[in-house]
Structure 1
Amino acid sequence: MSIKNQQRNPVLLIHGIGDTEIVFRKMRAYLIQQGWSVYTLNLVPNNGDLGLDELAKQIADYVTANFASGQLLDLVGFSMGGIVSRYYVQRLGGIKRVQRFITISSPHNGTVLAYASQRPGCIQMRPNSLFLQDLNADIDMLKQLHFTSIWTPYDLMIVPAKSSQMLVGKEMVMRVGLHSWMLTNFNTLAAISQILAQPINSILNSDSEL
């Protein structure tokens, strides 16, 4: 392994509702081929029966169990996993461990589809939920990280799709047809690789669209 690759942070991938780590099979293989050490975990339960704040504790426990105390990480969260990851970063001390943070099609401002379920995790993902209001109240703390939100305007799971937009960090819009395709689309994979490879002190001044 090259010195350049040795200096890279390990990457932790967090899946969405109803998913397992298997959804990252293509992304994980792609990033490993590019030289990263990639980790995944299964959030349990994955169906919304447990609050997102409780799921975030599983990320905290996983990080403590698998990485040295001084090891910095890069974090990628898909859909619900992006919101769970935000809670870890903003409320459970992840801000001290994470350098690059990427969310993919995550309902930062909620999704109306969450009204279809009374499960605690789904209630928290409703538009204007108390949970999201709390996280968004101090969204500026994410400015301490290299934060990027990636989303598609064609998303039928995040409704409205613009709910995946954030007021901080960098935004990348991908013209991808389906929510799940965001994890396998080549442009998305290439963009994630590019973001993870950027020096942490680089400043991105413009949004982009692919």
Structure 2
Amino acid sequence: MSKPTVLVHGFLDTGYTPWWSLLRRNLRREGYDEDDIYTVNAERVPGLTVGSPRDYAEKVGAVVERAYDDGGEVDVIAHSMGGLKTRWYAEEMGGAGYIDSLVTLSTPHQGTETTRLALFTKGARDMLPSSKFLKQLNVDGLAEGVDYTAVWSRNDYAVRPNGRGSFPDEWTERYDARNLRAGPYGHLEMVARRSVFDTYSGFLGA
């Protein structure tokens, strides 16, 4: 049996959109059982996931803990704001013990200026580099016991300036964490592209 793996979508998205089907296909091609792939859905309709990552962290935790009960320590693959939801659960809500590895795809760990286009939403405000949410999340760094991989791209139109989807260099020295630069892919391609998957798949369950 393959290892339980949880997929976490980001801002405006759901787990039902086509790019997630492509990621699940990539996992199955690597030998994962469909029953071991779990999906977090913060909302059921695309366009409605606009709340704070903090508000969605409990939903992430519910799925992670269910996957853990079914098969032990969990790998998480999270896109965009989904990485912040998962980090909040792991680092602020005591969820790190359920997670073996966390791979984030285009997650604005250091904030992104593009969310100024949607400041009428709490989620966008919390992803600004200067937000109270990010300051609280980042003040203590990453959780011990979790293997972190941040995958980012210079062509990501949604995470700006370049490099904000990576961890600070001092974190990769202090924690079990790494930054991986993917090819010239846009924000949603980071979920769907097989070549991106191949970049990080070796760190699942590391």
In structure 1, C-alpha distance between the alignment counterparts of 2:199 and 2:66, rounded to whole Å? 29
Residue in 2 aligned with 1:19? 13
User: The residue matched to 1:106 in structure 2 has which SS?
Assistant: coil
Among 156, 168, 187, which residue is 1:179 paired with? 187
In the superposition, the TM-score normalised over structure 2's length comes to 0.85
Whichever residue aligns with residue 135 of structure 2, its letter is: Q
In structure 2, C-alpha distance between the alignment counterparts of 1:94 and 1:71, rounded to whole Å? 13
In structure 1, C-alpha distance between the alignment counterparts of 2:80 and 2:50, rounded to whole Å? 16
Larger RCO (alpha carbons 8 Å, 6+ apart) = 2
User: The residue matched to 1:59 in structure 2 has which SS?
Assistant: helix
Report Cα offsets for 1:109-134 as digits up to 9, x if no partner.
11111122221111100112110011
C-alpha displacement of 1:49: 3.8
Whichever residue aligns with residue 134 of structure 1, its letter is: Q
In structure 2, C-alpha distance between the alignment counterparts of 1:120 and 1:184, rounded to whole Å? 27
| Mapped contact 1:79–1:105 kept (Cα < 8 A) | yes
Residue in 2 aligned with 1:31? 27
Whichever residue aligns with residue 122 of structure 1, its letter is: A
Give runs of aligned pairs for residues 33-182 of structure 1, distance below 5 A. Answer: 33-36=29-32, 37-44=36-43, 47-68=48-69, 71-117=72-118, 118-141=120-143, 143-167=144-168, 168=171, 169-182=177-190
In structure 2, C-alpha distance between the alignment counterparts of 1:90 and 1:66, rounded to whole Å? 18
User: The residue matched to 2:164 in structure 1 has which SS?
Assistant: helix
Report Cα offsets for 1:146-178 as digits up to 9, x if no partner.
111000011111011211110331111012231
In structure 2, C-alpha distance between the alignment counterparts of 1:93 and 1:71, rounded to whole Å? 16
| Mapped contact 1:15–1:81 kept (Cα < 8 A) | yes
Report Cα offsets for 1:8-35 as digits up to 9, x if no partner.
4311010111211133111111102212
| Mapped contact 1:80–1:107 kept (Cα < 8 A) | yes
Report Cα offsets for 1:62-105 as digits up to 9, x if no partner.
23445418821001110111111111111122211001111001
In structure 2, C-alpha distance between the alignment counterparts of 1:102 and 1:86, rounded to whole Å? 11
User: The residue matched to 1:50 in structure 2 has which SS?
Assistant: coil
In the superposition, the TM-score normalised over structure 1's length comes to 0.83
Which aligned segments of 4 or more residues in structure 1 are displaced greater than 6 angstroms?
Answer: none
Instruction: Number of aligned residue pairs: give it.
Output: 191
Query: Structure 2, unaligned stretches of length 5 or more?
Result: 172-176
User: The residue matched to 1:155 in structure 2 has which SS?
Assistant: coil
Query: Structure 1, unaligned stretches of length 5 or more?
Result: 1-5, 201-210
| Mapped contact 2:158–2:187 kept (Cα < 8 A) | yes
